[in-house]
Amino acid sequence: MFNKELIQFYIYRAITGISLSLITLFVPIYLYQLGFSLGKIILFFFFIALYFFVLILFTPIVVTKFGIRHSMLFSVSPLILYYLGLNYIQTYPILFFILPFFIALSDSLLWIGYHIYFLKYSKKDERGKQLSLNYIITLLTSVLGPLFGALLITILGYGLTYTIGAGLVFLSIIPLFLSKEFKRKPNFSHKDLFNYLLNKKNVNLNLSFVGYSVDSEINRVLWPIFIFIILQGVLHVGFIVSLTTFVSIVIIFIMGRLTDIKNKKSLIKIGAILNSLAWFFRIFVNTKLKIFLVDTFKTSSFYILRIPWETYAYDLSKRRNYFEYFVAREMVFKGVRLIVFPLVILIFYLLPIKTAFISIFVISGLVSLLYTKIKG
């Protein structure tokens, strides 16, 4: 089940998991506490998607010239700049437009290399277990991350917390330095890439990617703000998210084993229904207990869906030009957000805040059913 390269990959994910769990959850809340309107916060994440959509077209050049490992290594510097720059976004308003570029650059350098690396060193008949272990390690290292992040923010402030996160990101490069370099030369052009995206044969696959994109991004950007408005404190948010993460780990372990022995499409359908229901349950959340119960259900159902879905997606990439496949997939993820985010801004502009959140949760629940469209 294990090889040296995968172990190094898992160590890298563990360190980055700690860093991300300290910070990622609180970025939308931080911007909200600074006085940014919900529309402006969403605009910030819109710029991330926009920059990424352009930068991902050049990632194959970096991977070809420097290799998969170096591409992942190069992603660290702009991520550190992003973390450190967040502390000055109010002092220097221009950073509102610059910081999204840094995180987009980091992500564009990371994710293609990340997927190709995992695809190369994982085994088809054990990929479900190996993928679930990846998630378990990330979650184990981040179980206490939101709580510690909230404590650090409360005691030291956002600035020092971001600095600590940046330091952990720097440490994550150590296991990458120990891994072997390998290169993959893309045998497709930008024209081939757009033809691939527009090919009728890929419509259902792309719709499935739309489901993931909307589900994950609304969950990442708006859900933290929603529960912060109810709980009125980062410490409460951090505690509840840590607790729900802990409960979800058992579910992920079970799903990893089931994914390798059960029909993935059936598991995806079950997970998609549960995940969609979780969005509708969020409409009724208004207390700490309800947040805990519903968020535990949402996190668990997401991974019940995500593990067989991601495993199936990796299997599909093996049957195709996987380099082109991963670049196209990332373009769908971000391209959809370029459409969805302006619509979300419009909803918040036209509707009262509570009605707007309810409307967005309902839409997310319906769109997330598109996960089941995956086929190849």
Structure tokens of 283?
Answer: 């409409």
Quick one: pLDDT at residue 142?
A: 67
| Helix, strand, coil percentages, rounded to 5, for the chain | 85, 0, 15
The C-alpha atoms of residue 210 and residue 197 are separated, in whole angstroms, by: 12
Averaged pLDDT for residues 95-102: 97
4-180+190-373 CATH pick, 3.40.50.620, 1.20.1250.20, 3.30.420.40, 3.90.1150.10: 1.20.1250.20
Task: Tokens 């033809």: give the residue.
Answer: 195
Quick one: pLDDT at residue 53?
A: 94
Quick one: pLDDT at residue 174?
A: 83
The confidence band for 15, taking pLDDT boundaries of 50, 70 and 90, is confident
**Around Cβ 167, how many Cβ atoms within 10 Å?**
12
Amino acid at 156: L
Would you call 96 exposed, middle or buried from its count of C-beta atoms within 10 A (0-12, 13-18, 19+)? middle
21-78: per-residue pLDDT in tens? 778 878 999 999 999 999 999 999 999 999 999 999 988 888 888 888 888 888 889 9
Query: Which bin fits 185, alpha (ψ -120 to 50), beta or left (φ > 0)?
Result: beta
- In the chain, where are the structural domains located? 4-180+190-373
Averaged pLDDT for residues 107-131: 79
Beta strands in the chain (DSSP E): none
The confidence band for 257, taking pLDDT boundaries of 50, 70 and 90, is low
* 299, 281 contact by CB (below 8 A): no
Share of the chain above pLDDT 70, in %: 95
The C-alpha atoms of residue 269 and residue 274 are separated, in whole angstroms, by: 9
Quick one: pLDDT at residue 141?
A: 72
The C-alpha atoms of residue 36 and residue 22 are separated, in whole angstroms, by: 21
Three-state SS letters, 213-262: HHHHHHHHHHHHHHHHHHHCCHHHHHHHHHHHHHHHHHHHHHHHHHHHHC
Beta strands in 59-170 (DSSP E): none
Residues 6+ apart with CB under 8 A from 85: 95, 98, 99, 102
169-195: per-residue pLDDT in tens? 888 888 877 777 777 777 777 788 888
316-375: per-residue pLDDT in tens? 887 777 788 888 899 999 999 999 999 999 999 999 999 999 999 999 999 999 999 987
pTM of the entire predicted model = 0.89
Q: Could you give the angle at the alpha carbon of 175 between the alpha carbons of 173 and 181, nearest 5°?
A: 90
